[in-house]
Amino acid sequence: MRLKLLFTPLVIILALAWLPVTSHAANPHYDLKVLSSAPDQVSGTDVLVQVLFKGHPLESEPAVQSRLRQLRFWLNGQPVNPEIRAGRHGHEVLVSGLREGENRLELHHRRQGPLASVDLTVYPVTGPIFSGPQQYPFVCTVTTELGKQPLVDTDGDTGFPVLDEQGSQIGLSRDCSIESYVTFLYRTTGGSWAPLPDDGSRPDDMASAQLTDGRTVDFIVRQERGTINRFIYSFATLAEAGDEPWGASTANWNGRLLFHFQGGVGIGHSQGSISNSRALQPDTLQKGYAVIYSTGTRTSPHYNLQVGGETALMVKEHFIKRFGVPDYTVAIGGSGGGIQQYVYSQNHPDLLDGGVPQYSYPDMVTQTIHIGDCELLEYYMDATDRGNPRWQTTSNRSWLVGLNSNDRYPDPFAQIKQMLGYSTAPGMTECIPAWRGLTPLVMNPHFGWAENQELMQPEGVMDDVRWTHYSDAKNIYGVDENGEPRTLFDNVGVQYGLEALREGKVTKQEFLKLNAQVGGWKQPSEMVQEGFPFLGSVSDVLADPTTFDPWSSRNMNLSPDDGATPAPRTEGDVEAIRAAYNSGLVFDGQLNMPVIDWRHYLEEVLDMHNSHQSFSARQRIVNRMGDAGNQVIWFTDTRPTDYSDPDEPEPREEFNQTWMALEVLHDWITNIQQNPELGIAANRPMEAQDACFNTDGSLIDAGETVWNGILDDEAAGTCTNRFQTYTTSRMEAGGPIEGSIFKCSLKSVNTALSDGTYGQVSFTAEETTRLNEIFPDGVCDYSQPDQGRPAG
């Protein structure tokens, strides 16, 4: 890197340190501080540290030079010559030559001997650090994504075949690692990326970048790519013409580091694919941000956020070692990219300084609680209770599933359903277009897949992979006595349609029939492969109607005698649930940074990113922290929807509030850095208020009351009135908006009958007997915590 040497005035004692450090000071006037990672989580062969001169906060330049010249560094008992460079927040010392395992770095004076030391625990850059054994077999995608052959392992007789230029195998790789490499690109005036000419000429179509400090520079980007923790990473920074790949200037970096997380749904066993639209995010790069990205922090390859958090820490660590400590690190990312911001803030509070979760959820695992109900309830309405005309009205189906419904979206299989004798409605609930297939992807070991799975190595073992989320995260959930991954889904005691009963929308007889026959899911080890529309074709259905199964009913526990015997419910594993909480896969409300939760309103198009999720996160934050001063909620309208094409209704293209949010976060984070004693909430700038916006980005309203009426009993606020939110199946069963109860605590039916659970509805003795038959262990008591939730 082209960096100035350390002969400038430094305010050393105020230098920014990323993480606290365990050190062993032999002299009270000196200390060593690790900048690039926690000292017990160093990866690779180098570490970035800083020397603290205690008691001398404003040393002159000659004094700094003199003092540094008197110091020596020793690593594991041997003198070393580190690279000393000027960082944004004081000098930085890059020490190389670390070995895996325990290391000791010492600071010596050439005359006085040891002054300070720090113990380091070092792991390979291929990982893991704390996430446990890595998945194998594995799909290595650097060949297809980057056109690079992985490095040959020095030992081992299994792995991905590594080929030479002639296509002959020269070795094997289990890590899919490559040597890091650099390319230079420029942004064209037409809004695309092009390779920077090697001859040094300036292309006529090169765009300009407007930096946050007001300068205008050529829009040239250095992109570094490689592998960290087995996943593909990218570092993108503004560069200058003539830069060398490993000596690029940082003169155009504004000091802000953007981590771009990405969403999707996957269940592991793949290195994943890189998205240059995220890795080379032009809106932020052109302002001088550095942008970092990893396929390991993209949830389409996997949803093990313990692995994802580990990868995020390692990727940031190596950026810091390459470029130095940023002024702050902020994140953006939608859906699973938003989830990661909430979960990583909770689990790794020093990773990020702020975030913009876009159309997010609090976490993924608690979505499986109510989404696992979707097919159960849709099957009940389509098949089990097909003679009930209630379910032929689309909006009535929301009484059970909670999610929005819309007649403007016709069920694509309505004709087949009618032909086969099933019930249907003119439109759909969100369960169908948004969530169909997610339950089998989470639960069914036969159904899942990995990106580029045809490349999986070693050959012949793909059929042995258990394609479920539970298997993807089995290092966390554990396995049962049969070696099967423990599971989370539970609906014992859930009274589906309880709110509809209380409100008089369904009768007692309908309520009892529903809960007697809705059933549950088989355990993954008992499941079979899916039918149409997941596999097969319409012609297969016409030849054999039993292949039609959009509900995955073949994997349900249903009543054997049309409800005389209540259908068995599914029991989740308490150990797995406890592990989900303990590992941090559940966002439990501990938010350690400011966030602006931005959402484009998509309820009208039955999009899976339903709007109540922002408030689910807020209620968890309030429950855990007492208030939600760290979180701001912004909605942007996407209506009216264009229904001119009935097969493809489209929301209006909305104004993206993300870039506005980043500027507000800049002021918020700066305030926190300048006034840390005030905390996060008290440092909010005026612009950091709850708000909602029109499609063109103009403000509708902002302030403390705009979302009233969602989490309280106040009159509906301006934004609440403008943007209707919906519920879930568990909320319609009496559960809270937090949506984080996997396995409800139970109370007896008799207690429920006397404590107001059923509102003004009363049951006869015969109906009470039936309730007890359906719920022999009792019904959900949502006033109590999850049975698997750890105490405290």
Each residue of 158-202: pLDDT tens digit? 778 888 888 888 888 888 999 999 999 999 999 999 999 999 999
- The span from the CA of 50 to the CA of 12, in Å, is 9
Query: What integer is the mean pLDDT of 19-28?
Result: 50
Assess whether pLDDT exceeds 60 at residue 660: yes
**What are the residues facing 162 on neighbouring strands?**
171
CA dihedral defined by 157, 233, 139, 471, rounded to 10 degrees? 100
Please report the pLDDT score of residue 453 as a whole number: 77
Cα dihedral sign, 191-193-196-197: negative
Reduce the DSSP state of residue 71 to 3 states and report it: strand
Assess whether pLDDT exceeds 60 at residue 653: yes
Please report the pLDDT score of residue 22 as a whole number: 42
Please report the pLDDT score of residue 461 as a whole number: 66
> Could you tell me if 250 and 3 are in contact, meaning their C-beta atoms sit under 8 angstroms apart?
yes
Please report the pLDDT score of residue 169 as a whole number: 86
Q: What is the largest CA-CA distance in the chain?
A: 93
For strands 71-75 and 101-109, give the pairing. antiparallel
Query: What integer is the mean pLDDT of 589-596?
Result: 98
Element containing residue 142 per DSSP (H, E): helix 142-145
Kindly write down the DSSP assignment for every residue of 534-598, as one continuous string: TSS-HHHHHH-GGGB-TT-GGGEE--TTTTSSPPPPP---HHHHHHHHHTT-S--S---S-EEEE
Please report the pLDDT score of residue 20 as a whole number: 37
Assess whether pLDDT exceeds 80 at residue 644: no
Cα–Cα separations (whole angstroms), residue 307 to 112, 136, 228, 340, 475: 44, 14, 12, 11, 10
Reduce the DSSP state of residue 312 to 3 states and report it: helix
How sure is the predictor about 25, in pLDDT bands with cuts at 50, 70 and 90? very low
- The span from the CA of 319 to the CA of 293, in Å, is 10
Compute how many other C-beta atoms are within 10 angstroms of the C-beta atom of residue 783.
10
Query: What integer is the mean pLDDT of 601-608?
Result: 95
- The span from the CA of 213 to the CA of 445, in Å, is 53
Please calculate the CA angle 116-120-124 and round it to the nearest 5 degrees: 155
Query: What integer is the mean pLDDT of 352-373?
Result: 97
Reduce the DSSP state of residue 453 to 3 states and report it: helix
Please report the pLDDT score of residue 10 as a whole number: 31
User: Considering only 131-140, 287-296, 352-361, 775-784, which range has the smallest mean pLDDT?
Assistant: 131-140
pLDDT per position as a tens digit, 428-469: 999 999 999 999 999 999 998 877 777 777 666 666 788 899
Of residues 102, 118, 106, 103, the one with CA closest to residue 23? 118
Please report the pLDDT score of residue 6 as a whole number: 34
User: Considering only 64-73, 354-363, 665-674, 780-789, which range has the smallest mean pLDDT?
Assistant: 64-73
- Alpha-helix residue ranges (DSSP H) falling in 585-650: 613-625
> Could you tell me if 30 and 108 are in contact, meaning their C-beta atoms sit under 8 angstroms apart?
no
Query: What integer is the mean pLDDT of 69-74?
Result: 88
- The span from the CA of 700 to the CA of 638, in Å, is 13
Please report the pLDDT score of residue 17 as a whole number: 34
Assess whether pLDDT exceeds 70 at residue 548: yes
- The span from the CA of 552 to the CA of 527, in Å, is 10
- Name the phi and psi angles at 343, rounded to 5: -70, -40
Record the tokens describing residue 675, joined without a space.
């006034």
Please report the pLDDT score of residue 410 as a whole number: 92
How sure is the predictor about 414, in pLDDT bands with cuts at 50, 70 and 90? very high
Going by C-beta distance under 8 Å and a sequence separation of 6 or more, which residues neighbour residue 2? 243, 244, 247, 248, 249, 250
- Average model confidence (pLDDT) for the chain? 92
Taking each helix axis as running N to C, give the angle between helix 367-379 and helix 394-401, from 0 to 180 degrees, rounded to the nearest 10. Answer: 140
Going by C-beta distance under 8 Å and a sequence separation of 6 or more, which residues neighbour residue 632? 594, 595, 596, 597, 664, 684, 688, 689, 690, 691
User: Considering only 153-157, 320-324, 507-511, which range has the smallest mean pLDDT?
Assistant: 153-157
Please report the pLDDT score of residue 593 as a whole number: 98
Cα–Cα separations (whole angstroms), residue 101 to 120, 134, 314: 8, 18, 16
Going by the DSSP 8-state scheme, the letter that residue 175 receives in this structure is S
Please report the pLDDT score of residue 64 as a whole number: 62
Q: Where are the beta strands (DSSP E) in 407-470?
A: 428-429
- Name the phi and psi angles at 310, rounded to 5: -60, -45
Assess whether pLDDT exceeds 80 at residue 138: yes
Kindly write down the DSSP assignment for every residue of 347-406, as one continuous string: H-TTT-SEEEEES--S-STTHHHHHHHHHHHHHIIIIITTT-GGGGSHHHHHHHH-S-EE
Going by C-beta distance under 8 Å and a sequence separation of 6 or more, which residues neighbour residue 143? 149, 150, 455
Going by C-beta distance under 8 Å and a sequence separation of 6 or more, which residues neighbour residue 330? 256, 257, 258, 259, 352, 353, 354, 355, 356, 662, 665, 666, 669
For strands 595-600 and 631-636, give the pairing. parallel
How sure is the predictor about 153, in pLDDT bands with cuts at 50, 70 and 90? confident
Taking each helix axis as running N to C, give the angle between helix 305-323 and helix 336-347, from 0 to 180 degrees, rounded to the nearest 10. Answer: 80
Please report the pLDDT score of residue 618 as a whole number: 98
> Could you tell me if 737 and 711 are in contact, meaning their C-beta atoms sit under 8 angstroms apart?
yes
Please report the pLDDT score of residue 688 as a whole number: 98
Higher pLDDT, 65 or 158: 158
